[in-house]
Amino acid sequence: MSTLIRRRSTPRRAAWLIAVGAVVALLLTTALANSVSAHGSVVDPASRNYGCWQRWGSDFQNPNMATLDPMCWQAWQADPNAMWNWNGLFREGVAGNHQAAIPDGQLCSAGHTSSGRYNALDTVGAWKTSPVTNSFRIKFYDQASHGADYIRVYVTKQGFNALTKPLAWSDLELAGQIGNTPASQWTPEAQGVSIQVPANAPGRTGRHIVYTIWQASHLDQSYYLCSDVDFGGDAPTTPPTTTPPPTTPPTTPPATGGCAATYRVTNSWTGGFQGEVEVTAGASAIKSWTVTWTYANGQQVSSSWNATVTSSGATVTARNVAYNGTLAAGAKTAFGFLGSSTGTNTAPTPTCTATV
């Protein structure tokens, strides 16, 4: 009889153990998910993986990404979780010794953290840039409202070439920082909080990397984030005053001044390339400039910085933006762009016109 009872109770006990185990597993999974699903990142200028998620998260299988945004394309192919988990690029237990924990060449992946999930962010190339001035602010978004022991913002030194050189600690200069700031002092967001950190990088022009270290306050958890920017110079701190337009048009058009433009390809890959045009004022100062060129091999411009670029068929027109139209005699400025090509990529000869 006792044996019969044990035989009848064994399935019940097994079922009970399985049910308890399932509940424990569910609770553990939920706890782990809650602990890692909400952290933070620099959202302006966007970190590399946040920017890729922002641009392509709803369309990440679009093959056009390969030519329109090749650095994001290679990152999505390497590990999509680097973008889906844009808020989890951190290391634990660093104890403030960042340079010892992260080798040169691995700064953007936090030293190949998370079993190499973010390794593609270290890839050297033409990452999409955000335009900034020499005095700028980074916006950090914290989904979990951890607050900060500190946030430090670094900028690469003038002369650093982000298109050819892996990022090293010696390439960086501190441009701004804040100390201990609890989340209660951050700006409330729909989900989480945000804070802006002022930074100043005098003398920077062109493409650079902004490197942000966020030391979260809830435990020894350090975030390491690369944002690609393009310094176009200092913009006015206050908007210019405006006057009502005249009731009648002017009787004479603005005088035309001289300028010259040179076109060059700075980087290329299968199906795409990056270009730069340098504009030089002539013997007199100018107030604005327009550069035009015509492609002979079907090239198309997909994005640009430091100029407003439009296309009509094979003809491309680039006009200055607010902060780089006025040039002294002989002064120079430059703008850049990304383009697509089908193989042959003959450089066109640009023409430049200006007003004085």
pLDDT digits (tens, 9 = 90+) for 185-197: 999 988 889 999 9
Structure confidence at residue 39 as a pLDDT band (50, 70, 90): confident
Q: Are residues 218 and 351 in the same domain?
A: no
Q: Are residues 181 and 272 in the same domain?
A: no
Rounded Cα distance between 139 and 121, Å, is 20
- Tens-place pLDDT, residues 12-23: 554 444 443 443
Which residue, 231, 265, 287, sits at the end of a domain? 231
Q: For the beta carbon of residue 135, count every other beta carbon within 10 angstroms.
A: 15
Mean pLDDT along residues 250-261:
65
At 326, which CATH number?
2.60.40.290
Q: Is residue 5 part of a domain?
A: no
Which residue, 194, 214, 231, sits at the end of a domain? 231
Q: List the structure tokens of 114.
A: 């998370």
Q: Are residues 263 and 224 in the same domain?
A: no
Q: Is residue 49 part of a domain?
A: yes
Q: Is residue 89 part of a domain?
A: yes
Q: List the structure tokens of 170.
A: 């010696």
The pLDDT value recorded for residue 351 is 95
Q: Is residue 29 part of a domain?
A: no
Q: Are residues 200 and 342 in the same domain?
A: no
The parent domain of residue 86 ranges over 38-231
Cα dihedral 67/71/77/78 (nearest 10):
160
Q: Are residues 67 and 202 in the same domain?
A: yes
Q: Are residues 331 and 266 in the same domain?
A: yes
Q: Is residue 183 part of a domain?
A: yes
- Tens-place pLDDT, residues 195-236: 999 999 999 999 999 999 999 888 888 999 999 999 984 443
**H-helix or E-strand containing 144?**
none
Is the per-residue pLDDT at 45 higher than 80?
A: yes
Phi and psi at residue 4, in whole multiples of 5°?
-60, -40
Q: Are residues 202 and 61 in the same domain?
A: yes
Q: Is residue 109 part of a domain?
A: yes
Q: Are residues 95 and 199 in the same domain?
A: yes
- Tens-place pLDDT, residues 257-283: 789 999 999 877 788 888 889 999 999
For residues 250 and 356, the model is more confident at 356
Is the per-residue pLDDT at 240 higher than 50?
A: no
**Weakest mean pLDDT among 81-85, 180-184, 240-244, 275-279:** 240-244
- Tens-place pLDDT, residues 62-110: 999 999 999 999 999 999 999 999 999 999 999 999 999 999 999 999 9
Q: Are residues 223 and 316 in the same domain?
A: no
- Tens-place pLDDT, residues 124-162: 999 999 999 999 999 999 988 888 999 999 999 999 999
Q: List the structure tokens of 243.
A: 């006057």
Mean pLDDT along residues 237-263:
56
Average pLDDT, the chain: 83
Which residue, 231, 246, 271, sits at the end of a domain? 231
Q: Are residues 226 and 265 in the same domain?
A: no
Global confidence as pTM: 0.58
The pLDDT value recorded for residue 242 is 39
At 206, which CATH number?
2.70.50.50
According to DSSP, the β-strands at 288-294 and 351-355 are antiparallel
Q: Are residues 282 and 188 in the same domain?
A: no
Q: Are residues 310 and 223 in the same domain?
A: no
The pLDDT value recorded for residue 126 is 95
Q: List the structure tokens of 230.
A: 């393009």
The pLDDT value recorded for residue 146 is 85
Q: Is residue 251 part of a domain?
A: no
Number of domains in the chain: 2
The pLDDT value recorded for residue 121 is 97
Q: Is residue 4 part of a domain?
A: no
> What DSSP assignment string belongs to 24-46?
HHHHHHHHHHHHHS--EEEEETB
**H-helix or E-strand containing 262?**
strand 259-269
